Structure 1
Amino acid sequence: MNTLQRWWHGPWAVPTVSGAAILASFFVARVLGSDPVSNIFMVAAALVAGIPIAVKAVRALAVKNISIDLLVSVAAAGAIIVGEYWEAAAVTFLFAVGHALEARTMNKTRSALAELVAVAPDVAVVMRDGQQVEVPAGAVGTGETVLVKNGAKVPVDGEVIAGTGAVDEASITGESIPVEKAAGDRVFAGTVSRGGFLQVRATGVGADTTLARIIHRVEEAQDVKAKTQAFIDRFATWYTPGIMALALVVGLVTGDVVLALTLLVIGCPGALVISIPVAIVAGIGRAARDGILIKGGEFLESSARIDAVAVDKTGTLTEGRPQLSDVVVLDPAVDRGQVLAWAAAAEAGSEHPLARPILEAAAAEGLATPGLPDAVQPVPGKGITATTGGRRVLVGNAALLDQLGVADAVGAAAAAEELAAAGRTPMIVAVDETVVGVVAVADQVRADAAEMVRRLHAAGVTRVVMLTGDAPLVAEAIGAATGVDEVRAGLLPEDKLDAVRELQRQGRTVAMVGDGVNDAPALATADIGVAMGAAGSAVAVETADIALMGDNLRKLPEAIGLAKRTVSVMRQNITVALVTVTLLLAGVFAGGVTMAIGMLVHEASVLVVIANAMRLLRRREDTTRDATAREEYPAAPAELVTR
């Protein structure tokens, strides 16, 4: 299809031809003085612009929908019948121009989706039979090795198996700073190499990539109606027939057909109908650009009302990667390395998450351990007992010592309590019948956790509650470091669910932030479920109401702020639409507002509504930042989970 054909089938062909006919009519009337020929051109202009409008009206009637197009079609036809050719041409021409401008600007509001589609890679360089082969991105097989060179788009989701490089992941996470990648790291389709050379094993191709899932979700989300939009649609369903009835009554009472036809044009609720969807599309598009995936207009609108946020601790407020933090020696006969070595020897046979940081620390310090213990006995809620090299080793809390009759003569319980108060997870180590020391692990508080809480407060959230299964002392330490309003510790998944319900019973609109798996009941019950770090997680993208694609906590208050701005724009648009229609109707009855003037003002109001919504597409600097944002927040450690 050449350029002329594309233009002919585009939105501007009809208004251009109609406008040319109107100009020809004026030329013939003023230069040649032929009114009959001038009228023919004017009627032709009305037909060129009006027939597509009438076709849409008939199609709408076929599905029992009385549309705006029907109002314009009836008004234009009536104007031709009564000899008001200029009015008919002007109304249809302006309506066609409005549709063309609306289509163009609506495409701009969907620009975020277009940008996502544009970053989808077309080709991939794959190693096959020892040769580099360029193939379509969709033709890459799972498990194949893909080469990503400097400046190239990553064509698949995968794992780096060799090489190093920097990858710009802005299209996925919204973060513009390139991320360093090395063997073992994940990469995502649509991201761009900014340096280096990577060999990637494909784990997701085509529709199974994170980018494809995001595009699919944004497409769906932009079409999901908000509650306000659904109300406006119901209103328009009754409003349009009401205007037709009003025009009929006015025509019969006054005998003024032109006045009745003018009412049909003036009463078009075009700006009102488009006021909500254009804001929703723009808001969701802006969010997608920033790495915030919002499931639909309903959730965007609900997010604007959030006044309470429940936050899971591990992996949200904390890093979720515990490390050894302390080794306290309590027996003079042993040293630090021996205490850690005994703890590692016992934990070598444990499946508990806290075993890993102890084993890693022992390996990093070059401590020799006897391999797997001869016997291991977990004691739920208390710790572990192991037999290794003919010695019994206990690693756990004071209750474990009491249960097994080991005397605490060196103040191990007090040392453990002091470590717990500082936010660590302490574990007492005993060999045979002697307490030798205490080891502790810690999960570091995220550097931006306190700032996130502060920004949530600045965004209008009055209650930030931390929900965790950790011990109260540890949880309180995290709460103090992050500035949350309330700490609820020692919770099971069902307890977190009850906590969310309690906040809702208080009349709050609650957002729950979690990992989408362990916190599933609470996430499902909350008014808005938020998944953190959803890039690459199909479950999070599909199930969360809001998915923060990156691992940036500050995206949460950013999402709430955007939702509030979107709802504000929706209200402004509704006000513009209603005020315009009211003033025009008053102008018709007062005299002076013709069909052409009414349609011109009507189309202008539509463009104002669209332009107002397009402001949401601009990236807004975070106004919640202040001097406190530059303070150094202490990254106090905390435990991952209790035994």
Structure 2
Amino acid sequence: MNGINNNVSTLRAWASGNWFIPTLSGVLILISFALEKLGGGSANPTIGPQWWLDAGAHATHAQGVFTLADVFMIAAAVVAGYQIVIKAFRALSVKIIGIDLLVSVAAIGALIIGNFWESAAVTFLFAIGHALEVATLNKTRSALSELVAVAPDWATVIRDGQQQDIPAGQVQMGEIVLVKNGAKVPVDGEVVSGTAAIDQATITGESIPVEKAVGDQVFAGTVSRGGFLQVEATGVGRDTTLARIIHRVEEAQDAKARTQAFMDRFSRWYTPAVMVLALATGLITGNVVLALTLLVIGCPGALVISIPVAIVAGIGRAARNGILIKGGEYLETSAKISAVALDKTGTLTEGQPVLTDIVTLDSDMNKTEVLRWAAMAEAGSEHPLARPILDSAREAGVSPDGIPGTVTPVPGKGIITDIDGQNVLIGNSALLEQYEVMNDGGAGKIATTLAFEGKTPMIIAIDDRVIGVIAVADQIREDAPEMIARLHRAGVKKVVMLTGDTQLVAESVGKATGIDEIHASLLPEDKLDVVQKLQAEGHTIAMVGDGVNDAPALATADIGVAMGAAGSAVAVETADIALMGDDLLKLPESIGLAKRTVSIMRQNIAIALITVALLLAGVFAGGVTMSVGMLVHEASVLVVIINAMRLLRNTNGATAAPKATAQTKKTVEQVNA
């Protein structure tokens, strides 16, 4: 009984699928051909009024009768065409003249003049084309399907001291979730116990599992490849990174590019123009078949679908590789990028500076005391360079208690704090000049020497006397030079560094990485000015930054890029391009993919227009019938879809430059040293 029910369910599913109608229509056409081959079936004089024949019925019906073969052919046209007519009527009711209307008019007209085979062929081929379009478009959306498929269904949690398996959506914030070897991580969370190798390919595009330990972040949908973790849930259900990615990709694939919006406007005028052309041709020539054939071959199906299928495939391919692109408009803009502006700290460098030097300039103080004052001043600072100072103070046993009374940031220069009634300044020479602190201990020269070594120096002063200079250094990323080379290979003409660091430090990093243009000692508004200047020069700018100090420049740039966005819900939702992993090489990859997508969009438009032009020429030259026109039309639709599906292939190395040379690596090592 179960087997019968399953078979019935399968048949019902197939009958409601995309292939049922073209299959049924095709069977009816084959029966018609078979009957005609056997002698036309049984004649029925009651079928077919004389006015039908007078309208120009086919010669085979000259005796005023329809054969059984004709009946099956008409049935095939009706089966394949009734949904097309319904769609055309619905579109017309909201004042939209679309492809369905062209096919409907042509098919009904062919029936009226007795061209039953042409009517059946046109509707049958159109139905097949629709089914193939749906199937191939689903294939281009496979990246989204894969993301949905990796969403975890179950989670193992600790409740009442016991392990319990519950639906992943029922995990509560703050609960402890167990992730065993081979299991999917069901929530976003922080590891509180254990170690494991986690495959994060679905989120960041990384092909190699990442080692996770206490304090590390994990994401829902990733998979444990070995080890055991206890994870405190910080994001569940729709609040997980995976859910945000799925939502973002879904929106992006439906968002229209500027070219697509133009093509939609074009088709709204083009389709009525084809109908007018067909009507005029019929009236002038008196050839109804020619007019109906023009309707069929003028269908802009390949033209309409050429853009969205490429966008869906391009955004899907990017999502598989850990790159989220906001939509078709941003994809098109990314293909035009000619200049890239990069922040130094956290982009070209590791973003984890360490304290390297402490120079004492006050005879009454030693290095530990200078470090203590620096740490007390930085205790209330949010600047990234405060962390290595505080860490070093903790290691030296002079970690400050609490925070200073007041903390006044001086953008681009440093900070001034109030500690026990004394003003403590820590920053560059410009800060000392602003507060008229005498620099008679050679602090400026020492800072310059440290900067030449690729370090960031900070002068420390208490009230009006300088007590010392400390320096921190950030490690240049090993793949930074290769990223710059790949950007150039991807067509980017200028790579610019924008940093608030000193000119000497910036030049040291720029020399090691191959940066084209360096702008140092910048305030946030200065970065904005540089971006605007590049735009005035005609560049399309992509800005890569942290979204805090770089916020004005990121907002002004043509494309704002966020790196390491997997850990930031805001970046996933707002960045024009969100690189989920902290991988520099994803930046040139995203630009290269955008250029390939736009190139395929242009190819598809050319294929569609050339096909219509050749068919038009063939119609007026003779030899192209309605059925042949529809066959070629549907073939062109499939060609543009298959062309777009090439984007689904992973070609990360397409724009890759050679690895950094030994000399470049040596330079990086020297700067880092």
Deviation of 1:524 (Å):
1.5
CA distance in 2 between partners of 1:237 and 1:60 (Å): 12
- Tell whether the 8 Å contact from 2:181 to 2:227 is kept in structure 1 after alignment: yes
- Tell whether the 8 Å contact from 2:154 to 2:168 is kept in structure 1 after alignment: yes
- Tell whether the 8 Å contact from 1:428 to 1:437 is kept in structure 2 after alignment: yes
- Tell whether the 8 Å contact from 1:77 to 1:88 is kept in structure 2 after alignment: yes
Q: 1:134 aligns with which of 156, 165, 172?
A: 165
Distance change (3 Å), C-alpha of 1:101 and 1:394: closer
| 2:248 counterpart letter in structure 1 | R
Q: CA offsets per residue over residues 435-455 of structure 1, 9 Å max, x none?
A: 776431112222222221111
- Tell whether the 8 Å contact from 2:377 to 2:419 is kept in structure 1 after alignment: no
Distance change (3 Å), C-alpha of 1:249 and 1:183: same
SS at match of 1:147: strand
- Are 1:175 and 2:206 counterparts? yes
Give 1:593's aligned residue: 624
- Tell whether the 8 Å contact from 2:192 to 2:214 is kept in structure 1 after alignment: yes
SS at match of 1:41: helix
Distance change (3 Å), C-alpha of 1:394 and 1:584: closer
Distance change (3 Å), C-alpha of 1:422 and 1:110: same
- Are 1:459 and 2:503 counterparts? no
CA distance in 2 between partners of 1:465 and 1:374 (Å): 37
SS at match of 1:126: strand
Deviation of 1:499 (Å):
1.5
| 1:465 counterpart letter in structure 2 | V
Q: 1:110 aligns with which of 126, 141, 147?
A: 141
- Are 1:515 and 2:546 counterparts? yes
- Tell whether the 8 Å contact from 1:299 to 1:545 is kept in structure 2 after alignment: yes
Distance change (3 Å), C-alpha of 1:374 and 1:498: closer
Deviation of 1:518 (Å):
2.8
CA distance in 1 between partners of 2:483 and 2:360 (Å): 38
Q: CA offsets per residue over residues 603-643 of structure 1, 9 Å max, x none?
A: 1010000000000000014134344435453447999xxxx
- Tell whether the 8 Å contact from 1:444 to 1:637 is kept in structure 2 after alignment: no
| 1:6 counterpart letter in structure 2 | A
Give 2:331's aligned residue: 300
- Tell whether the 8 Å contact from 2:560 to 2:575 is kept in structure 1 after alignment: yes
- Are 1:77 and 2:105 counterparts? no
Deviation of 1:464 (Å):
1.2
- Tell whether the 8 Å contact from 2:437 to 2:465 is kept in structure 1 after alignment: no
CA distance in 1 between partners of 2:429 and 2:99 (Å): 76
Distance change (3 Å), C-alpha of 1:9 and 1:629: farther
- Tell whether the 8 Å contact from 1:348 to 1:355 is kept in structure 2 after alignment: no
- Are 1:209 and 2:209 counterparts? no
- Tell whether the 8 Å contact from 1:343 to 1:429 is kept in structure 2 after alignment: no
- Tell whether the 8 Å contact from 2:360 to 2:370 is kept in structure 1 after alignment: no
CA distance in 2 between partners of 1:262 and 1:430 (Å): 87
Alignment of 1:186-265 (within 5 A): 186-265=217-296
- Are 1:343 and 2:350 counterparts? no
CA distance in 1 between partners of 2:431 and 2:576 (Å): 43
| TM-score normalised to structure 1 length | 0.92
CA distance in 2 between partners of 1:527 and 1:394 (Å): 38
Give 2:17's aligned residue: 10
What runs of 5+ residues in structure 1 fail to find an aligned partner? none
Q: 1:617 aligns with which of 638, 645, 648?
A: 648
SS at match of 1:535: helix
Alignment of 1:543-622 (within 5 A): 543-622=574-653
SS at match of 1:172: helix
SS at match of 1:175: coil
SS at match of 1:490: coil
- Tell whether the 8 Å contact from 2:77 to 2:124 is kept in structure 1 after alignment: yes
| 2:561 counterpart letter in structure 1 | V
CA distance in 1 between partners of 2:426 and 2:530 (Å): 33
Give 1:369's aligned residue: 398
Deviation of 1:481 (Å):
2.1
| 1:462 counterpart letter in structure 2 | K
Q: 1:504 aligns with which of 535, 557, 561?
A: 535
Quick check: 443-452 or 210-219, which moved more? 443-452
| 1:57 counterpart letter in structure 2 | A
SS at match of 1:599: helix
SS at match of 1:239: helix
Deviation of 1:393 (Å):
8.8
- Tell whether the 8 Å contact from 1:407 to 1:433 is kept in structure 2 after alignment: no
Distance change (3 Å), C-alpha of 1:463 and 1:607: same
- Superposed CA RMSD in Å reads 2.8
Q: 1:147 aligns with which of 178, 182, 186?
A: 178
Aligned length: 632
CA distance in 1 between partners of 2:430 and 2:242 (Å): 50
- Tell whether the 8 Å contact from 2:354 to 2:388 is kept in structure 1 after alignment: yes
SS at match of 1:99: helix
Distance change (3 Å), C-alpha of 1:149 and 1:297: same
Q: CA offsets per residue over residues 311-358 of structure 1, 9 Å max, x none?
A: 122222222222112244678998xxx514541354135323434313
Over the matched positions of the two proteins, sequence identity in percent amounts to: 67
- Tell whether the 8 Å contact from 1:584 to 1:593 is kept in structure 2 after alignment: yes
Q: 1:26 aligns with which of 11, 20, 33?
A: 33
CA distance in 2 between partners of 1:517 and 1:355 (Å): 16
CA distance in 2 between partners of 1:580 and 1:589 (Å): 15
Deviation of 1:31 (Å):
2.2
CA distance in 2 between partners of 1:543 and 1:38 (Å): 61
Distance change (3 Å), C-alpha of 1:195 and 1:37: same
CA distance in 2 between partners of 1:407 and 1:115 (Å): 62
Alignment of 1:155-174 (within 5 A): 155-174=186-205
Give 1:61's aligned residue: 92
Q: CA offsets per residue over residues 369-397 of structure 1, 9 Å max, x none?
A: 38549987868546668879x99998665
CA distance in 1 between partners of 2:575 and 2:202 (Å): 19
CA distance in 1 between partners of 2:351 and 2:473 (Å): 10
Give 2:660's aligned residue: 629
- Tell whether the 8 Å contact from 1:478 to 1:637 is kept in structure 2 after alignment: no
| 1:80 counterpart letter in structure 2 | L
Distance change (3 Å), C-alpha of 1:398 and 1:107: closer
- Are 1:281 and 2:312 counterparts? yes
Deviation of 1:517 (Å):
3.1
Q: CA offsets per residue over residues 91-131 of structure 1, 9 Å max, x none?
A: 11000000011110000000011111111111111111111
Quick check: 253-262 or 106-115, which moved more? 253-262
Distance change (3 Å), C-alpha of 1:638 and 1:296: farther
| 2:150 counterpart letter in structure 1 | V
SS at match of 1:500: helix
SS at match of 1:623: helix
Deviation of 1:280 (Å):
0.6
- Tell whether the 8 Å contact from 1:443 to 1:637 is kept in structure 2 after alignment: no
Quick check: 512-521 or 269-278, which moved more? 512-521
Distance change (3 Å), C-alpha of 1:18 and 1:383: closer
| 1:595 counterpart letter in structure 2 | M
CA distance in 2 between partners of 1:619 and 1:460 (Å): 20
CA distance in 2 between partners of 1:53 and 1:163 (Å): 60
Distance change (3 Å), C-alpha of 1:376 and 1:232: closer
| 1:135 counterpart letter in structure 2 | I
CA distance in 1 between partners of 2:509 and 2:471 (Å): 16
Give 2:3's aligned residue: none
Quick check: 167-176 or 507-516, which moved more? 507-516
- Tell whether the 8 Å contact from 1:148 to 1:154 is kept in structure 2 after alignment: yes
SS at match of 2:567: coil
Quick check: 484-493 or 349-358, which moved more? 349-358
CA distance in 2 between partners of 1:470 and 1:119 (Å): 43
Deviation of 1:59 (Å):
1.1
CA distance in 1 between partners of 2:140 and 2:287 (Å): 42
